[in-house]
Amino acid sequence: MKILSYNVNGIRAAIKKDFIGWLKSANPDVICLQEIKAMQEQLDVTLFEEAGYKYNYFHSAEKKGYSGVAILCKEEPKHIEFGADFDLATTEGRVLRVDFETVSVISLYLPSGTNQLRLEAKFKFMDDFQEYVSELKKTIPNLIICGDYNICHEEIDIHNPKMKGVSGFLPVEREWLGDFLNNDFIDTFRYFNKEGDQYSWWSYRANARNNNKGWRLDYCLATKTLENRLERAYILQEARHSDHCPVGVEID
């Protein structure tokens, strides 16, 4: 089972950059999208269906042109859960889950802390999401949580580790992600890959992407119950439909 995650920074803009052609070539079984910035009725879903993704689910923000997550599947899930039992997960379209027989996949778009108000909202979301996942694991032990976490975990995950005062690399954010992983999760990319200079987001400024001045903000985290089923994990830096690139994991 090949699962990809991609913050597309606007699905309609990505489609204009041949996202559909790339999707056919990449050929995942499931792809989690974040920051789709669109309502389902604004999209031609036949494009996804013709690419092989007959089962496509969208959880958009109430605010138009903002946030939103989606999951495209080749096989039909047995259950789909839109949002979660806390506010921003639903109103801002940040959590969407599909359940299959032996694994459940979540598309997550964790808020960014662009100002003090949003940073406080981000911290609240982090606490709420941790509580939600801890409760969820009691009934659904096999979880893969894919998405844009808007946090670099370790110094190896950012091109300039001195940026400790910037949201996304604040000590409190990094500590939260570490605690989240310690709650029986595996960072699948780091499970297979220990090398540096591996990023999933680059600023549009200062030619950052061509100079690989990036951040690793996107993750596929798997519960430890899935450890013996993990086969590969990777970052697809060559995909250029967004300021992010896709990340992926393959499980048996």
CB 132 within 8 A of CB 91: no
Q: Which is the catalytic residue, given 29, 148, 157, 218?
A: 148
CB 92 within 8 A of CB 62: yes
**Nearest residue to 66 (alpha-carbon basis) of 106, 93, 43:** 93
Task: Respond yes or no: is residue 87 known to be catalytic.
Answer: no
Query: What is the biggest distance separating any 2 CA atoms in the chain, rounded to whole angstroms?
Result: 47
| 211: number of Cβ within 10 Å | 10
Q: What angle do CA 17, 23, 25 make, to 5 degrees?
A: 110
- CA pair distance 203, 230, nearest whole angstrom: 31
3-state DSSP percent of the chain in helix, strand and coil, to 5:
30, 25, 45
Contact residues for 9 (Cβ-Cβ < 8 A; gap 6+): 35, 37, 242, 243, 244
The sheet with strand 185-187 has its strands ordered as 79-82, 95-99, 104-109, 143-148, 218-223, 185-187
Catalytic residues: 148
